[in-house]
Copies of this chain bind each other. A is one copy, B any other.
Amino acid sequence: MQHPKKVVLAYSGGLDTSIILKWLQTEYGCEVVTFTADLGQGEELEPAREKAILLGIKPENIHILDLREEFVRDFVFPMFRANALYEGQYLLGTSIARPLIAKYLAEIAVESGADAVAHGATGKGNDQVRFELGVAGLEPNLRVIAPWREWDLSSRTKLLEFAEQNQIPVAKNKRGEAPFSVDANLLHTSSEGTVLEDPAQEAPDYVAQRIVAVEDAPNTPEFIEVTFEKGDPIAINGEALSPAAILTKLNELGGKHGIGLLDFVENRFVGMKSRGVYETPGGTILLEAHRGIEQITLDSGAGHLKDSIMPRYAELIYNGFWFSPEREALQALIDKTQEHVSGTVKLKLYKGVARTVARWSEHTLYSEKHVTFEDDAGAYDQKDAAGFIRLNALRLRLISARNARVAKK
């Protein structure tokens, strides 16, 4: 295969992607375009620009974008409409950010006439899959380069040697082995590797970076109200906020109250199990709140249907199939169910728990008139239940009669 001429690199400004940048230049002799996104990871991005320039990238080839609103509005919120949980527990904080990065890699490549994109994900993880399926689903002819699968810089020592040889600045604390690997964005922070690799060992306290230790959380509960419109949160305590601002606010609240910590062993798409520690403070509150508002506004038919396809939807996102016909078809189903998911949920936040305590809506399907133990003024005729049950029981009666008949013979 021919060498690429121009490559768009997903560039964080950190040591690893700086080494990749240099390696692309030296290995392929190609022009490198950098793309650095603010997804709410909480790091300054200007140093990435300076470092790119230092490594010889032309200013017009440096793309630094604040994607926080798009990330939350077009990726996080649509996913939360589904109450998506991977393997029952994981809120997909890393998975959901990858297609957005893939989208911009592809777009910048088209705009800048690049013939390839590159990323810094390793060959063992899910992120390589998510980046590459994302690009394939958008630009079929774009080549993807994954240096970690190609080069022979297979140890920390070799990487540092390469950095030194190529005048790549190495922060002091990067010289030793990092105790674990971290990914962060506005939805979550994940940690995995090294000290976390034995799932029989508890994670050290210092792993959690974003959520206060539940023992140190306030001793007084805090009550908040989250308002939804068509399945998406639009206000907190009555104050309308943009998507990113809402998630930022929920993160502050969750982080303060120790909410959203998960120690988890999951099944990677590439076939192995891995253990991670996930911190999703705002997302954990949002899931609970969304369920709370669905409780009164969503019908059981639509709700049970959503529940039944959710695992598949979550699996698709986890595996990197955001830009696939099946994810889009499921999204159409999910969005259709959210037309009346509007209203307000009151939650209690305390010591690691976000719990719905009340909910109300103009779109409510809850009918006190029907459910009351008191006199319901004829809203519901209890005698109807006899017929309802008898017909539901008919096939069961036919079965038990058949089984008895056959058993006798």
Contact = CB atoms under 8 A, between A and B. Distances in A.
Interface in A354-409: 355-360, 362-368, 370-373, 375, 380-406, 409
A171 interface: no
A159 interface: no
Interface string A163-203: 00000000000000000010000000000011001111111
Nearest to A307: B311
A358 B362 CA distance: 45
A380 B332 CA distance: 33
A13 interface: no
B395 A272 contact: yes
Contacts of A310: 311
Interface in A304-351: 304-312, 315, 321, 323-326, 328-330, 332-337, 340, 346, 350-351
**How many copies altogether?**
4
Contacts of A295: 87, 199, 264-266, 273
A73 interface: no
Contact of A311 (B308, B324, B352, B401): B308
A213 B389 CA distance: 39
A395 B352 contact: no
Contacts of A375: 154-155
A382 B148 contact: yes
A334 B309 CA distance: 14
A384 B146 CA distance: 12
Contact of A355 (B261, B303, B350): B261
A277 to B, nearest CB: 10
Interface stretch (A32-40, A52-60, A64-72, A135-143): A135-143
A152 to B, nearest CB: 11
B393 A136 contact: yes
